[in-house]
Amino acid sequence: MANMKEENAFLNRVSANDEYITDSSKQRKKIFPSLYFFRNMLRILIYSNRYAKKGIYDSFKWYDSSVDTRESLERAGIKMHFYGMNNLRKADGPVVFVSNHMTTMETMILPSIIRPLKSVVYVIKEELSRYPLFGPIALARDPILVGRENPREDLKIVLEEGSKRLQAGKSIIIFPQRTRAMVLDAALFNSLGNKLAKRNNVPVIPIALITDAWANGKYIKELGKINPSKPVHIAFGEPIYIEGNGAEEQSKIIEFIGGKFREWGRPDLVKGV
């Protein structure tokens, strides 16, 4: 948990309260919202890449660039609604965040919510570390790199490297679906995060999110359409400790995410829950 002095160093914290809704005064009706946003996104990537190459892209600069991204999306006309931030305060020390993975948006804006309360790293595909602009940025934040081709090898890497991060006081964000998907399919939602949490006796905090306001692109996933007519929802659940084989807790996590989808009027995005 961040101490008070550190927490006060984070500007524009949306996690100061349990709930956050975009102030309508921050939204701007853009004729070409995608053009507006991606122009800003390029700016953010350029300065973040510069910091990373200089070795100074620390967690504070990461947080600032994440806030910049979130606010650029809001200025493009997107309304954000975040819930359950107080649940992050219910767990002392690091946790494993387990989330559905819909679009690029969550990877860019989750640090702007979580980082003032917990130091955090991602489990990411190794290929992302080779992207020209984004690669150095990703590597600067001490991610856990997996190949996504050999599940057994990925399990070993996440358990070993994840344990090191947790023992160092860093929380971990895991997307059990392995790839971005519009639909929450219980059959494809693995329990890797639960295994890591149990091994290190830390809780899991489930995250439910709908972020399709930034669509996945047809040829380049990161370059999808920005659609301000679609609201963004992100909810954090209660901390869950894993008991036994974790089957009951896995069901609770999936049910939490599926339940939020239904609550947000998107039952069409739920399969097998």
Please give the single-letter amino acid code of residue 151: P
The label of the residue with tokens 């001490």 reads: 142
CATH code of the domain covering residue 53: 3.40.1130
Written as six digits, the tokens of 74 are 């809001």
Q: Is residue 72 part of a domain?
A: yes
Q: Is residue 11 part of a domain?
A: no
**Distance (Å, whole) CA 259 – CA 91:** 22
**Percentage of the residues of the chain whose pLDDT score is greater than 70:** 95
pLDDT surpassing 90 at residue 222: no
Looking at residue 270, what is its pLDDT? Answer: 87
Q: Is residue 5 part of a domain?
A: no
**Distance (Å, whole) CA 3 – CA 200:** 23
Of 21-30, 66-75, 79-88, 112-121, the least confident: 21-30
Average pLDDT of the segment spanning 176-180 = 84
**Distance (Å, whole) CA 153 – CA 149:** 9
Average pLDDT of the segment spanning 49-76 = 96
Which range of residues forms the domain containing residue 157? 26-271
Q: Is residue 124 part of a domain?
A: yes
**Residue bearing the bigger pLDDT, 112 or 179:** 112
Looking at residue 8, what is its pLDDT? Answer: 58
- What global pTM score does this model have? 0.92
Looking at residue 7, what is its pLDDT? Answer: 53
Q: How confident is the model at residue 113 (pLDDT cuts 50, 70, 90)?
A: very high
Q: How confident is the model at residue 255 (pLDDT cuts 50, 70, 90)?
A: very high
Burial tier of 30 (Cβ tally within 10 Å: 0-12, 13-18, 19+): middle
Looking at residue 6, what is its pLDDT? Answer: 54
Nearest of 88, 76, 85, 77 to residue 36 by alpha carbon: 76
Residues facing 98 on adjacent strands: 174, 206
Q: How confident is the model at residue 186 (pLDDT cuts 50, 70, 90)?
A: confident
Contacts of 164 (CB under 8 A, 6+ apart): none
Written as six digits, the tokens of 195 are 């295994």
Burial tier of 117 (Cβ tally within 10 Å: 0-12, 13-18, 19+): buried
Q: Is residue 85 part of a domain?
A: yes
The DSSP 8-state label assigned to residue 214 in this structure reads: B
**Residue bearing the bigger pLDDT, 176 or 272:** 176
Looking at residue 25, what is its pLDDT? Answer: 77
Query: Cβ distance 194 to 204 under 8 Å?
Result: yes
Residue 205 is inside which H or E element, if any?
strand 204-210
**Distance (Å, whole) CA 109 – CA 74:** 11
Contacts of 201 (CB under 8 A, 6+ apart): 241
Query: Cβ distance 76 to 226 under 8 Å?
Result: yes
Q: How confident is the model at residue 5 (pLDDT cuts 50, 70, 90)?
A: very low
Q: Is residue 17 part of a domain?
A: no
Q: How confident is the model at residue 10 (pLDDT cuts 50, 70, 90)?
A: confident
Q: Is residue 167 part of a domain?
A: yes
Domain count, the chain: 1
pLDDT surpassing 60 at residue 132: yes
Nearest of 235, 8, 2, 199 to residue 110 by alpha carbon: 235
Q: Is residue 199 part of a domain?
A: yes
